[in-house]
Each structure stands twice: as C-alpha cells, then as structure tokens.
Structure 1
Amino acid sequence: MSHVFPTYARWNITPEKGEGSWLTATDGQKYLDFTTGIGVLNLGHCNSKVKAAVQKQLDQYWHTSNLFQQPNQEALATKLAETSGLDAAFFCNSGAEANEAAIKLAKKATGRKKIVTCVQSFHGRTFATMGATGQEKVRIGFGPMLDAFEYITFNNEEEVKAAVDENTAAIMFEIVQGEGGINPATESFLKTVQEVAKNVGALIIIDEVQTGIGRTGKPFAFQNFDFQPDIVTCAKGLGNGLPIGAMLGKAELKEHFGAGTHGSTFGGNPISTAAAIAVLDECFQDDFLQEVVAKGELVRSKLKTALSDVQLVNEVRGLGLMIGIDLKVDAGPLVLELQKEQLLVLTSAPHVMRLLPPLTVTIEELDLAIEKISTLLKKVPTPAV
C-alpha cells in the first residue's frame, strides 16, 4: 500500500535515468520524452551546464532565508527584467504561487476585486488560482470559490469588452492555453485586451508558466506579438527541474509589494536560482531561440503532411515547440499506446495530444516521434458521426 495521497493518475513507468531527450525506466525501457516533466525540462534531462551551476552552489550554501541579501536573486531578476521589458521580480516555488502573487498584487495595486480570466484556462490549484482557472472540473468538491473571477471565451473580443469594467483589477490569461487544448491567442484578441484594459485602468496578467523561457521561440510567448503586459508569471522551464517560480511586474507596482505584503520561505532559494541563471544563459540566446522557431515550424509542417489523410485528426496547431494534435477521439488511450512504442507525450483537454519536447531536441528525434505518432493514428478507426 502506498502512503502517498492518490492525487495523480500515475503511469506504470518508474524512471531511473534521464539524459537529453531520453528517459530510461527501471525495467530497462528507454523512452523518447516529449513530456519534459510537463514543459519543465526545456534543456533536457540532466543538462550539464545546469548541473554544474547547481553543484557549485551546493558547495557554497543551500539556504539562508530572505532576510539576507541574495546575489543569485538579483542576477536572475536582472536577466528576467531586461528580457521581458518589466522591472521587478518576486520569486517563489511554482507556477501556482507565481499566479497567486500576481492576483494579490493586481488587487492591491488597483484596489479592485474582479479578475477576468478565460474558459479552458489553467492557472493552478491553490484556492485563488483554482478560482482563476476556467475549468469547472478543477473546482468540483471544494465548496464556494473566491467570488472575484469572471470567465470569458478565449479569443472572444466582444466578451472581453463586455466583461472588463471599472471594477476589474486585471485580465489574466495564457498566450497559448496549455492545459486547455494548445489554443494560441489571436492578434486581434490581444489588441482588444490592450485597448479595454487601458480604457478602464485594469492590469494585464500573462501566465507564462508553460509558454515561457523559450518554449514558443521567444523568451516569453507574448513577445511573438506587439503586446506588453503589466505582470508576467513564469515557472516550469525556469529551473529545468529545480522548483522555482517568478512573478514579474512593472516598476510602478513595486510600491504595492513592500516588506510584509507577501513572502515565501523557500522562494528564490540559492540552488534553484543558480539553476535558473544557467537556464537563461542558454535559452535566451538569439541563435538558440531561432532554432526553436525553426524546429517548431518543421515539426508542425511534417506532422500536417504525415497526418493529412488521417480522418481522425482535426488540426495540428501550436507555437514554437508547444504542439497540439486535435483529434476526433479522446487522446488519453492513444498516449498510453505510444508508451508501448517508447514515446512519451501528454494530453491537453481530453481530445488533444500534446507534444512538449525539450528545446534541445534533434531533428532526428522529432522525425522519430512523427513516425511513431503517424503510424499509430493511421491505425485508429475514425468514429462514426
């Protein structure tokens, strides 16, 4: 009997070693890993530069608390600010905590209560972020949510115009909905959001927990557009497996998050920040990001060609190396079938197969995954209408 709460529907795979794009299980099976810990291992398993940075910090000190000056935090905050166009960072341990901080900051800075979010969004599982998440299944069984959230349809310009008013503290959404089906935002939606927020003095919070740190071919996904938010959250890929999250905000918001307003015992831990600095040194290089764009365009093109005559497939979509294959059936059973072919992928919404390869993935590895996916999907019968 396990003494761990059964909060996860675990696969029958026990990892033993990871290297690059590959994960070896205790039974000797070697898998091509296109889950990357749900978009965390952007530099792949056991990246040598991240490992070296962590080892160096381990030999110095592990923890002090945020009562002390933290050189790693200052260095990491500078890199994030200079790249994002924002000005200040608050460090925590996860995406949910980063989003929690963003919600608190938006309400405190504006003095308003309402946050507008999107249907099919995902922002975390704390009480505030669960309320912000536009998926009812996440909230079932937990009683009344915080009453501050109003949900609109993603990419619906008329709904955002109707929902945002003088009581709105912030509009909060993802540039690509990660858990909601790999749905990218449209330029017209982003333009409308910017206009309505400016008109009423609401802030714009962009959740980059899954899309950030190079995943879409830009340091942050919002940078694929002519768009500048007030607050950005990131986590997952920031530490390449070490737990860290960050909330970034404009300079004028700093006065609203002074001493005693928020905190985290482990937030900005020196080991996690050492890892994150090493990650950004790699992921924010122009040539690295250009490769992500090229590989993303290539894999989507090859998938569309390979699956063009497969009636089971509705669409291949995504941005950078964040890819969704929209199917006419639930993707869950097909994910398990691919495991038998030594390929690890995810679902996103019940009917979307989600691919999140490491950003360091090779063309040969992408081709191998495409072959395995297309071979499987061509065998699956199309459901009768």
Structure 2
Amino acid sequence: MFKDYDKIKELESSYIINTYGRNPEKTPLFVEGKGCILHDEEGNEYLDLLSGLGVNNLGHSHPGVVEAATKQMNKLLHTSNLYYTVPQVELSKLLIENSFADKVFFANSGAESNEAAIKLARKYSELKYGENRKKIITVKKSFHGRTLATLTATGQEKVRKGFGPLPEGFSYVPLNDIDALKKEVDDKTCAVMIEPILGEGGVHPCEKDYLEQAKELCKEKDILLIYDEIQTGMGRTAKLFAHEHYGVTPDVMTLAKALGGGLPIGAMLCTDEVAKSFSPGDHASTFGGNPVAAEAGVAVVNTLLEDGFLENVQEKSSYFVKELEELALNYSSVQGVRHKGMMIALQVDGCAGEILGECLSKRLLINAIGDSTIRLLPPLVIEKNQIDIALGILENVIADIES
C-alpha cells in the first residue's frame, strides 16, 4: 500500500470528501502507533496527548486489546443481532455489574448511542403520559453527535447551521444554572441530557450541587436524567465513569469512544424501569455489539478495573495538572487550567491555534477548541517522563509565542 506522503495527499483529496479541514502542509501521515507514541511514514515519533479524540485511552495498539480482538477475528467476525454471541454478553455483564444500570443497548458510535437514548426517553414518556411530552433539555456548548437528532441536541449553533429543518423538541440552558433548568422544565419535558464535563465545549465540569439538584428536579417531575459519558467515561477522569465523582447517578447513560480501545462501539445503559419501554422492533443496529468490537471492549473494561489502574491515572493526572498550573503562573497568555483526571484544558489568550501548530511542528499532538482553549486528552497509560516531555514542549512553545 502507498506510504508516500505526497501520493497519499493527492489520493485523499481525489477520493475523500473534505470535512475535516486538515492543514495540507502539516498534517502527518501516521502508519504505526504503540502506547503514547505515533510514527509517521518517515519513522518520526509523535507524542500523542489527544488519544484519537479520547478513543485510545489505553494508548495505541494496547496488547490486551489487540490480542482479544485478533483471537475473536479468527473465530467470528459478525452474525447480526438476530443471534446470541458470547463477547456481547460478557461486555454487557461487565458494564452492568460496574454501573448503576440494569440493561444495555449496543451501537457503533457515540451519536448512535445518544440517538438510542433520545428515542428511549421519548418512548418512555409517551407510554406514561401520551404524545405531547417529548421535549429534551440539553446544555449550551454541549456536543452530542452529528446525526440530525444529536446535532439538534447539541448546544452549539455552529453545528446545526445549514442542516434544517431540524427535529423539534430540544431546548438549551447554561451549564450549572439550576434556576434556568427549573424554568425550562415544563409539562412537555421528557428528559434532561447532560455531559458531566463538557468536552467539545472546552472541558467545563458540572458542579456537584447542580447535578444533585438536577436529579431532584427530574425525580420530582418524573422526567429522565441522561448522562452523555461518551468522552468522559471509560477511565478518562480517573473513575470508570465521570459521574462517580459526584455521587449522582442518571436513569440513562451513553458510552462510546474509548469503550472499544480503538474499534467502533457504543452503548446506552439504563435502569430496568426505563428499558421496558423498548420492545422488539423499536430500535436496532446491524453492527451494534459486533463480536470483535465487543471482545475488545471486554479487554478495555477489564484493564481499567485492574487493581491500582485508575488510582495510578489519578496520581499522574494530579502531577500533570500541578505542573500546568505552575505554567499558568509563569506565562500571561495562560489564564488557567480546568480538569478532571486526564481530561484537561488550558485557557489561553487567543493563541490556541498558534500553540497547536507549533506543538505539531515539535511532534506533540494536542487539540485546540476555538481560539482560547487547548484540550489535552492523554492516554491513561502515559508515563511520567512523557508528561515531562510534553510539559517541556508546551512551555517552550508558549515562551516563544510570548517573546
């Protein structure tokens, strides 16, 4: 297969729809990855602090995930959900035994998981209250997906622009504003959908009091509380699920990204009471819970649950954040740090794009959200010396920008 950089760029532009806005002069061509390191076609090493947008929580080509998926590929690739498969049952058992939930539905992606949650919430409400109680309230700056329903649920106008007419029945309130949420809930509301930490919105955590009061409000009004843990789940915050930091459980939770260790899989988890709203034929997914992806998911969850794994993530993330806070004290363009575990943001003074570009030239992969936020999603397996390397590059880049 082609490995020539210019040839790949030429073929990519010829055959693939341009939806990702790559910089044609700087975008690397990656051919291999191990742990926190990616290699381009010339053998150059890149330190990855983005984890494939929060997918490679266990790093690239984690040996346990690769072994599990490879063994399953040699046994059974696909059957459809008309039949039983062992990996799907094993993964569902692991997820249920380690969460609030009683039942799970498998999909292929975060958007599909959120679609399932939206449909379930509306069906649950219709069965109890009739057809006129279908509104779902989400948070401004949230991100829930790119399908028509999930981009409408997303609290960002830029994501929705140009795709109307959009599905009805969504409204938006500011994060951590319980009064605004209470005001927005009415007799047409069926659910409140929240990311415990806004990811694409800039790494803004929910406040514990806000989630507690939101839970009380949902219980009082008999509406469902949905947590979108697609980015925040699977150990990203040094807990298996981010809501564990707050001690406030939802009725429905969605997962994807890191669940498959690099393979596509999503999941919607819920309580028994809510799950009963779906009957055979109400929802389905051809590839959802595919045996290979599910077997990879089993390896991911088992690794995260190993003794000391998440505690080690917390220890490393605390060190990383402490050093970043020191950086913020020393440079005027860094205005603060937001974080929960290995989900980290630097608030910068309008230079996020410049920092991103300079870090890429020094082979450090990070993410910029708008002009003022640098998002860091390091693999949970990152070593302390790799954190130090990343810190050194970031400091040099910021120092050069300020000089």
Residue 256 of structure 1: SS of its match in structure 2?
A: coil
- Is 1:86 the equivalent of 2:101? yes
Superposition deviation, residue 351 in structure 1: 1.4
Matched, 1:56 2:68: no
Partner of residue 309, structure 1: 330
- 1:263 Cα deviation from its structure 2 partner: 0.3
After superposition, residues 88-103 of structure 1 pair within 5 angstroms as 88-103=103-118
1:37 is aligned, of 49, 52, 66, to 52
* Unaligned residue ranges in structure 1 (runs of 5+): none
Shift of 1:98: 0.2
Tell me the distance in 2 between the aligned counterparts of 1:183 and 1:191: 17
CA distance in 1, matches of 2:275, 2:155: 28
Structure 2 partner of 1:10: 22
Partner of 1:166 in structure 2?
187
Q: Which moved more, 1:305-314 or 1:206-215?
A: 305-314
1:270 corresponding residue in structure 2: 291
Out of 125, 138, 147, the residue aligned to residue 117 of structure 1 is: 138
Partner-residue secondary structure (3-state), 1:138: helix
Q: Which residue of 1 aligns with 2:35?
A: 20
Of the three residues 38, 45, 66, the one matched with 2:81 is 66
Partner residue of 1:345 out of 323, 345, 366? 366
Partner Cα separation in structure 1 for residue 162 and residue 387 of structure 2: 41
Number of the residue aligned with 2:254: 233
**TM-score of the two chains, using structure 1 as the length reference:** 0.97
CA shift at 1:339, angstroms? 0.8
Q: What displacement does 1:307 show?
A: 2.7
Residue 221 (structure 2) pairs with residue 210 (structure 1): no
Which residue pairs with 1:106 in the alignment?
121
| Sequence identity (%) | 42
CA contact (8 A) 2:327 2:334 kept: no
Report the alpha carbon displacement of residue 298 of structure 1 after superposing the two structures with TM: 1.0
Q: Compared with structure 1, are the counterparts of its residues 3 and 206 closer, same or farther at alpha carbon in structure 2 (3 Å cutoff)? A: same
Aligned to 1:292: 313
Between the aligned partners of 1:255 and 1:118, the Cα distance in structure 2 is: 27
Is 1:182–1:348's contact at 8 Å kept on the other side of the alignment?
A: no
How far does residue 33 in structure 1 lie from its aligned partner after superposition? 0.5
Alignment check: 8 A CA contact 2:140 2:155 kept: yes
For residues 250 and 330 of structure 1, the distance between their equivalents in structure 2, rounded to whole angstroms, comes to: 44
Structure 2 unpaired stretches of 5+:
1-12, 127-132
Q: Count matched residues.
A: 382
Deviation track 1:112-131 (CA, whole Å, cap 9, x = no partner) reads: 21000000000000000000
Q: How far off its partner does 1:164 sit?
A: 1.5
What TM-score results when the alignment is normalised by the length of structure 2? 0.93
4+ runs deviating over 3 angstroms: none
Query: Aligned partners of 1:302, 1:342: CA distance in 2, in Å?
Result: 20
Residue 66 (structure 1) shift: 0.5
| Partners of 1:144 and 1:228 in 2: CA distance | 34
